[in-house]
């Protein structure tokens, strides 16, 4: 099997999902070739892949790839990979992966399995992915080569960093014609934990009543290093920005712990977080649908429960 892992990075820092995919391949006895693309120094990202077991890392370099461009990246990956005859091309189902990978699959004239929660590359390529808003799962097999698939972050275990320095091959990337370019990136300056990679997420719904009240969740999240999310209802009401939205029309997350505060549990929201390892629901309505999915439930007013939870977490952290 000739497996190629497109390793995603932001400003030279690897996305955790890339390391999760690498770890899963190695657990199955397959050593993938990792491919990084960009401009500037990517040696630290390549070395980190080596720490997690990558033997070979290919770095595609081009100044046009300094800023994200799905067209340029797809062109660069296609030109390189088409010369390698890959059996499978895998990347993370991040926003960038979901944006770029369909274009790459189209260039190979093959189908794509997106947002997979399981995959197999030993003895053939297959995968499993949720469908119908997560109510069912679908088993996927590939009839054409290469198999192209993206993997949901946080659903695979991360291996131990026990590897050595990898073999690094640097290649001048051919990006072709790029018809749309990023000319400027404006940052809010606020450092946030990436929702898709967070181990703990505390989300709020419309019951928070205002944007200012989201500080209750932020205070709790800061104690345990969690990310703060929001339901679509809260985003539509203007209480939170869209980049915090969890759900079918927002981000799909799979944290170790998901705390839903004042969220009723509409199917659109469940579609984005139902694969969380442990779900805790806080809602004053004992009949709220979220309790049917939750592992633990607290029937109560979030404005009373969350501050108490924050204080208890502070005490636990102080004694740890």
The reply to whether 286 falls in a domain is: yes
Domain-ending residue, one of 137, 172, 207: 172
Residue 260 DSSP label:
E
* pLDDT score of 286 more than 80: yes
Domain of residue 292: give its range.
195-319
Q: Which residues pair with 228 in a beta bridge?
A: 202
The reply to whether 68 falls in a domain is: yes
Contact 236, 244 (CB under 8 A): no
Q: What is the pLDDT of residue 210?
A: 95
Domain-ending residue, one of 107, 137, 172: 172
Same domain? 11 vs 93: yes
Q: What is the pLDDT of residue 23?
A: 95
Same domain? 253 vs 133: no
Integer Cα distance of 295 and 86 in angstroms:
42
Contact 91, 101 (CB under 8 A): yes
Integer Cα distance of 235 and 5 in angstroms:
34
3-class SS shares of the chain: helix, strand, coil, % to 5 = 30, 25, 40
Backbone angles phi, psi at 289, to 5 degrees: -60, -25
The reply to whether 13 falls in a domain is: yes
Residue 83 DSSP label:
T
Contact 146, 33 (CB under 8 A): no
**Nearest CA-CA partner of 16 in 166, 159, 153:** 153
Same domain? 129 vs 36: yes
Integer Cα distance of 271 and 234 in angstroms:
16
Same domain? 143 vs 9: yes
The reply to whether 183 falls in a domain is: no
Same domain? 150 vs 203: no
CATH number at residue 253: 3.40.50.1220
pTM comes to 0.85
Same domain? 166 vs 202: no
The reply to whether 187 falls in a domain is: no
Same domain? 156 vs 19: yes
The reply to whether 186 falls in a domain is: no
Q: What is the pLDDT of residue 188?
A: 67
Integer Cα distance of 262 and 283 in angstroms:
5
Number of domains in the chain: 2
The reply to whether 229 falls in a domain is: yes
Structure tokens at 274: 């139902």
Over residues 123-175, the pLDDT tens digits come to: 889 999 988 877 889 999 998 999 999 999 988 888 888 878 899 999 999 99
Over residues 1-26, the pLDDT tens digits come to: 799 999 999 888 899 999 999 999 99
Residue 171: C-alpha distances to residues 26, 45, 78, 97, 188 (Å): 25, 16, 13, 21, 34
Strand bridging mode 257-261 / 200-204: parallel
> CB neighbours (10 Å) of residue 103?
16
**Nearest CA-CA partner of 263 in 278, 254, 273:** 273
Integer Cα distance of 261 and 265 in angstroms:
10
Reported as type and span, the H/E element at residue 89 is strand 88-92
The reply to whether 180 falls in a domain is: no
Q: What is the pLDDT of residue 93?
A: 93
Report the pLDDT averaged over residues 279-295.
96
Same domain? 205 vs 301: yes
Q: What is the mean pLDDT of the chain?
A: 92
Q: Terminus-to-terminus CA distance in the chain, angstroms?
A: 46
Over residues 189-210, the pLDDT tens digits come to: 667 778 988 999 999 999 999 9
Same domain? 165 vs 21: yes
Q: What is the pLDDT of residue 19?
A: 95
Same domain? 163 vs 235: no
Over residues 228-240, the pLDDT tens digits come to: 999 999 999 999 9
Integer Cα distance of 232 and 239 in angstroms:
10
Same domain? 270 vs 311: yes
Same domain? 140 vs 223: no
CATH number at residue 103: 3.40.50.620
Over residues 42-83, the pLDDT tens digits come to: 999 999 999 999 999 999 999 999 889 999 999 999 999 999
């Amino acid at each position: 099997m000739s497996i190629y892992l497109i390793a995603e990075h932001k400003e030279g820092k690897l996305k955790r999902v890339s390391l999760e995919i690498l770890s899963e391949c190695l657990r199955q006895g397959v050593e993938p070739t990792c491919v990084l693309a960009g401009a500037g120094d990517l040696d630290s990202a390549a070395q980190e892949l080596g720490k997690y077991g990558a033997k070979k890392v290919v770095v595609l370099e081009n100044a046009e790839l300094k800023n994200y461009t799905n067209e340029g990246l797809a062109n660069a990956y296609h030109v390189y990979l088409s010369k390698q005859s890959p059996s499978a091309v895998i990347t993370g189902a991040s926003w960038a992966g979901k944006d770029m990978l369909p274009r790459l699959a189209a260039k190979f004239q093959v189908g794509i399995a997106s947002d997979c929660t399981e995959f197999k590359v030993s003895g053939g390529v297959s995968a499993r992915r949720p469908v119908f808003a997560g109510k069912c799962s679908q088993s996927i097999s590939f009839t054409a080569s290469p198999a192209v698939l993206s993997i949901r972050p946080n659903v695979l275990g991360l291996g131990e960093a026990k590897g050595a320095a990898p073999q690094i091959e640097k290649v001048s990337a051919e990006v072709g014609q790029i018809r749309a370019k990023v000319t400027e990136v404006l940052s809010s300056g606020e450092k946030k934990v990436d929702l898709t990679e967070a181990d703990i997420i505390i989300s709020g719904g419309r019951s928070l009543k205002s944007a200012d009240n989201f500080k209750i969740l932020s205070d709790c999240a800061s104690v345990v290093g969690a990310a703060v999310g929001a339901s679509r209802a809260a985003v539509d009401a203007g209480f939170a920005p869209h980049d915090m939205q969890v759900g079918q029309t927002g981000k799909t997350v799979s944290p170790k712990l998901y705390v839903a505060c004042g969220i009723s549990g509409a199917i659109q929201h469940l579609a984005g977080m139902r694969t969380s390892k442990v779900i805790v629901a806080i809602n004053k309505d004992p009949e709220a649908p979220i309790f049917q999915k939750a592992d633990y439930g607290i029937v109560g007013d979030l404005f009373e429960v969350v501050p108490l939870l924050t204080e208890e977490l502070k005490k636990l952290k102080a004694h740890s």
